[in-house]
Amino acid sequence: MKLSSIFLFAIFLLPTIGWSQLAASKGPDPVEVEGYYQFPIRTGNQNYLSGTMGELRTNHFHAGIDIKTQGVQGLEVYATAGGYINRIKIATGGYGNALYILHPNGTTSVYAHLQKFSKPIADYVRMSQYQKESFEIELFPDKSQFIVKKGELIGYSGNSGSSGGPHLHFEIRDSQQRPVNPLKYKFPEIRDNIAPEVRKIALRTMDKSSRINGRYGRFEFQVLRNGSTYSIPVPITASGSIGVEILTHDKLNGANNRNGVPCMELTMDNQQAFQQNLETFTFAESRSILIHTDYQTARENGQRFVKMYVDTGNNLPFYETNNSMGMLRVLSDSTHKVQINLWDIYNNTSQVNFKITGQDPVHQINLPDYRNPKKIGYDLQGNDLVIEAPEDKDDPCAYVYSNRMRYQLEVAYRLNQTAVFIWDMDQGLPDSLIYGKEKLDFEYKAVMPGASSFNYYGDRVQIQAPKGALFDTVFLTYNYALDTVGKKEIFTISRDIYPIRKSISITCSPALKYLQKEQTSVYSLDNRGNPSYVGGTWNGEKITFKTRNWGTFTILADTVEPQVKALILNKDQLVFRIDDKLSGIKDYNLFLDGEWVLMNYDYKKKIIRSEKQYQQVPFEGALELKVTDNAGNVSTYRTNI
């Protein structure tokens, strides 16, 4: 079943128009020429989007646009402009089946989540997969191999890779491979006269002495809408340095999807404090979305507020700010007019207006709906620890123990019958706090600086963070627990409220003995205790793994083989369902009379499906399928066709 040289040569035959001819006809800069790009699917008909450029995703900015395909697969996809295919990639996740076309003007167009390619491309890819004996493959054809004309059929829309439903992901990248907004070319197939919508505004105190309505912390405000203008219906007082965050989205005609808002501006008293214009970014910068948005709020309630100020560690290039990096300085005995302007790529605009009245900090706040705590509690907000405790009138001060010293802490303010204290973490990691007859112990172990590398050596855990791994300072907490009944060890390494830029390395020294180390790995645990495979490498009695998230981890052995079920077995088609309940599928290979057979993997449906090298050759002979999970367990299925 090897590829013959004659057949391979036939596949590589070239179209009659050469790349040099296309490049020679470049003329004026085509990027600025109207009509240079054609809409890639259902050209000439109104189309609808489920995603836009720069949209906020879990851990990256969305590149390009997602074009709806009416819930079906198999719609024809065309080259947006002339050029040649310079990259083809097949992956189980990510973009799935993807094509990249380089155009004479230096830009690249990308077509992702395809169901399949047009026949010449599909034949070339399939033969390459058989040569390499791999479903996943990345190819870089010569520039003379697949020259395409504008509007030429190149593939069919699908749902491959990490797609959450059938659609076409379409990008245009500049000469430096930075994505640019395809909608800037004003395709007539897309209509948008809908202004961005605002859901909430949040205000945050940015230092220990700042206050919002007398209090320290982060506070969310509902908005009232009047057309495309919004306001905050409650009075706001503040003092000191204040940060503004916004929960907003954009919609396009004919679709209810909540898309991203690329452009926004914050002014106070008609002076610009912050502006964002998300026209392009590099893929290397995309993970900085974790600090572009309020990471802790997103992790705790799923809402992604955009910060209208630039935090430490945020090096994204598409901001303009005042001298305070977008933060507002509220002066006492003054009323400040705050305005937020939002606009999309079609210049549909929205506006938020509200006022902040400057007021000196007060010592007593009365809130009828506030429930006084029954015991001491605390919450870390930025670099400050906010401690709330039932008021003890006999002793108005709290005492913090840090670095073997005792510090007297005055009440910052009282909230009903609750005393509020604020401890600056830059002053030192607190060991404990005593207030009246109550004592509160803290679990902070170390200060991990964001700008440099850092190693932590603790009880049963070691942490190594290389330079640049962290966006900002992390106040590390760590807790170890041993469940002797369930024979499970739990390593809780900080709350997942700090974003991580690059992977950190963690080494665990377990108390339990693990006899089957080859099948034993680290798993992260969600809030319900459900495990997700992380991995790890054993060195003696220690296991080391890499992660880009803080949280709770455990060590589990997976000794159960993957599940394999034959669905269709005949001379034309081989289809199996494969699954693994704990560590997940790592690899699979099917052989027929010792010859490798290409099996396309749809991990969302847990299905592998055969694709013949030569259509006329039937599947016959001894079949052997081996499926391996991430723990090294192997299931082998044998039969005769």
Would you say residue 514 has pLDDT above 70?
yes
Would you say residue 218 has pLDDT above 50?
yes
Nearest to 446 by CA among 455, 438, 434, 436: 455
- Taking all residues of the chain, what is their mean pLDDT, rounded to a whole number? 93
Residue-level pLDDT at 339:
98
83 within 8 A of 141, measured Cβ to Cβ:
no
Q: What is the DSSP string of 290-302?
A: HHHB-HHHHHHHS
CA dist 576 and 564 (Å) reads: 7
**What does the pLDDT look like over 458-499, one tens digit per residue?**
989 999 999 999 999 999 999 999 987 878 999 999 999 999
Nearest to 206 by CA among 457, 382, 412, 10: 382
**What does the pLDDT look like over 16-62, one tens digit per residue?**
344 444 443 344 444 556 689 999 999 999 999 999 998 999 999 99
Classify domain 5-185 by CATH number.
Answer: 2.70.70.10
Coil/strand/helix, residue 352 = strand
Average pLDDT over residues 127-131: 98
CA dist 559 and 629 (Å) reads: 10
394: confidence class by pLDDT, cuts 50, 70, 90:
confident
Q: What is the DSSP string of 558-619?
A: --PPPEEEEEEESSS-EEEEEE-SSS-EEEEEEEETTEEEEEEEETTTTEEEEE-SSTTS--
Q: What is the DSSP string of 476-488?
A: EEEEEEEETTTTE
Domain covering 364-442: architecture:
Sandwich (2.60)
Q: What share of the chain is helix, strand, coil (3-state, %, to 5)?
A: 10, 45, 45
**What does the pLDDT look like over 416-445, one tens digit per residue?**
999 999 999 999 999 999 999 899 999 999
Number of residues assigned to the chain? 641
**What does the pLDDT look like over 241-252, one tens digit per residue?**
999 999 999 999
CATH of 563-640, one of 2.60.40.760, 3.40.50.1980, 3.40.50.1110, 3.20.19.10: 2.60.40.760
Average pLDDT over residues 64-76: 96
Residue-level pLDDT at 395:
78
**What does the pLDDT look like over 304-339, one tens digit per residue?**
999 999 999 999 999 999 999 999 999 988 999 999
**What does the pLDDT look like over 286-305, one tens digit per residue?**
999 999 999 999 999 999 99
Residue-level pLDDT at 1:
35
Coil/strand/helix, residue 417 = coil
For the chain, count helices (H), then strands (E). Answer: 5, 52
CA dist 612 and 627 (Å) reads: 20
Average pLDDT over residues 343-357: 97
Average pLDDT over residues 348-376: 94
**For 82, which DSSP code?**
S
522 within 8 A of 545, measured Cβ to Cβ:
yes
Would you say residue 10 has pLDDT above 60?
no
CA dist 252 and 265 (Å) reads: 21
Residue-level pLDDT at 369:
86
Residue-level pLDDT at 32:
53
Whole-prediction pTM value? Answer: 0.91
Residue-level pLDDT at 633:
97
Coil/strand/helix, residue 356 = strand
12: confidence class by pLDDT, cuts 50, 70, 90:
very low
Domains 364-442 and 563-640 share a fold: yes
Q: What percent of the chain has pLDDT over 70?
A: 95
CA dist 211 and 614 (Å) reads: 72
Residue-level pLDDT at 33:
61
Domain ranges of the chain: 5-185, 197-358, 364-442, 447-557, 563-640
CA dist 384 and 204 (Å) reads: 12
Would you say residue 392 has pLDDT above 60?
yes
**Which tokens in the block code for residue 401?**
């123990």
Residue-level pLDDT at 35:
86
**Which tokens in the block code for residue 45?**
């008909």
Average pLDDT over residues 264-293: 95
CA dist 49 and 42 (Å) reads: 13
CA dist 291 and 472 (Å) reads: 9
CA dist 52 and 345 (Å) reads: 10
Would you say residue 516 has pLDDT above 70?
yes
Q: What is the DSSP string of 208-250?
A: TT-EETTB-SEEEEE-EEETTEEE--S--EEEEEEEEEEEEEB
Classify domain 447-557 by CATH number.
Answer: 2.60.220.30
416 within 8 A of 370, measured Cβ to Cβ:
yes
Average pLDDT over residues 354-372: 93
Average pLDDT over residues 341-351: 97
CA dist 357 and 334 (Å) reads: 6
CA dist 130 and 312 (Å) reads: 49
Beta-carbon contacts of 366 under 8 Å, excluding residues fewer than 6 positions away, are 416
